[in-house]
Amino acid sequence: MNRLFNAVERDVFKDILRLRRDVRGNKFTQQPVPDDVIEQLIDAAMLAPSVGYSQPWQLVVIKSQAVKQKVYQSFCQKSKQEKELFPPDKQEQYQKFKLEGIIESPINIAVFYQRPDAPILGQTAMKETGKYSVVCAIQNMWLMARALNVGMGWVSILDPQVVKNAVNAPENSELIGYLCIGYVDEFLEQPELKTAGWQQQKSRQQTVFNDSF
């Protein structure tokens, strides 16, 4: 099969890319997420490219309030520490941001990288490519979630060991991303951190180089 995409389909894809958002606790609703939707997100993850076709991802679907509470406590501790790293005016702004939706979202998914115990084709020179593969899987989920009109947020302000302990992760599993998933009351048009003036959007000039930096 040599399926080609037409202009209308391309425009839909561009909209999914442009309108994908990181969703936080101030936007999630309590509307339950059907299992079928979770299955479609998992399918999307499992279609991701991976170094040597190693598929090194492991996903833990979390509904347990006890697990969520442990992760949330870790967020609280780590965000307090992170805030201190910014100058005073930024600290004030930081404090006002909602930077997770662990409790508010009905589903959390902890995504792990399973370290290999034998050489992987393509991963021997650049060891990190296994983890990059897991990030590809997360991005697939993020785009699929948006296509399903479901919000997803990535929380990295936490102690990965706390998450590992909370879900009994094996020793050779490394946390890559902690995701909050649920329906939303709205999808913002622009990244919140851009609108709030925390960080400006980079230009092509800052980003793209020809032949040499």
Q: How far is the CB of 26 from ligand FMN (least distance, A)?
A: 10
Q: Which is nearer to ligand FMN, 8 or 105 (CB)?
A: 105
> Strands 107-114 and 151-155, how do they pair?
unpaired
3-state DSSP helix/strand/coil % of the chain, to nearest 5: 40, 15, 45
Both tokens of 203, joined, read 């230009």
Q: Could you say whether residue 104 binds ligand FMN (CB under 6 A)?
A: no
Which positions from 17 to 56 touch ligand FMN by CB under 6 A, shown as an x/- string? ----xx-x--------------------------------
Q: Which is nearer to ligand FMN, 112 or 154 (CB)?
A: 154
Rounded Cα–Cα distance for residues 137 and 49 (Å): 7
Q: How far is the CB of 23 from ligand FMN (least distance, A)?
A: 8
DSSP conformational letter for 101: -
Q: How far is the CB of 196 from ligand FMN (least distance, A)?
A: 10
Applying CB under 6 A, among 41, 62, 150, 155 the residue interacting with ligand FMN is: 155
Task: Give the residue among 107, 117, 116, 22 at the shortest CA–CA distance from 60.
Answer: 107
> HSE on the CB side for 45, CA within 13 Å?
26
Cα–Cα distances (Å) from 32 to 14, 39, 48, 51, 140, in that order, read 28, 14, 26, 35, 22
Residues constituting the chain = 213
Ranges within 135-154 binding ligand FMN (CB under 6 A): 154
Q: Which is nearer to ligand FMN, 124 or 190 (CB)?
A: 190
Ranges within 192-211 binding ligand FMN (CB under 6 A): 193
Q: How far is the CB of 74 from ligand FMN (least distance, A)?
A: 11
Cα–Cα distances (Å) from 29 to 24, 161, 185, 191, 211, in that order, read 11, 29, 6, 19, 47
SS3 7: helix
Q: How far is the CB of 158 from ligand FMN (least distance, A)?
A: 8
Applying CB under 6 A, among 116, 157, 160, 174 the residue interacting with ligand FMN is: 157
**What is the gyration radius of the CA atoms in the chain, in angstroms?**
19
Q: Could you say whether residue 99 binds ligand FMN (CB under 6 A)?
A: yes
Q: What are the phi and psi torsion angles at 15 (to 5°)?
A: -65, -40
Q: Could you say whether residue 156 binds ligand FMN (CB under 6 A)?
A: yes
Q: How far is the CB of 119 from ligand FMN (least distance, A)?
A: 27
Residues that bind ligand FMN (CB under 6 A): 21-22, 24, 99-100, 154-157, 191, 193
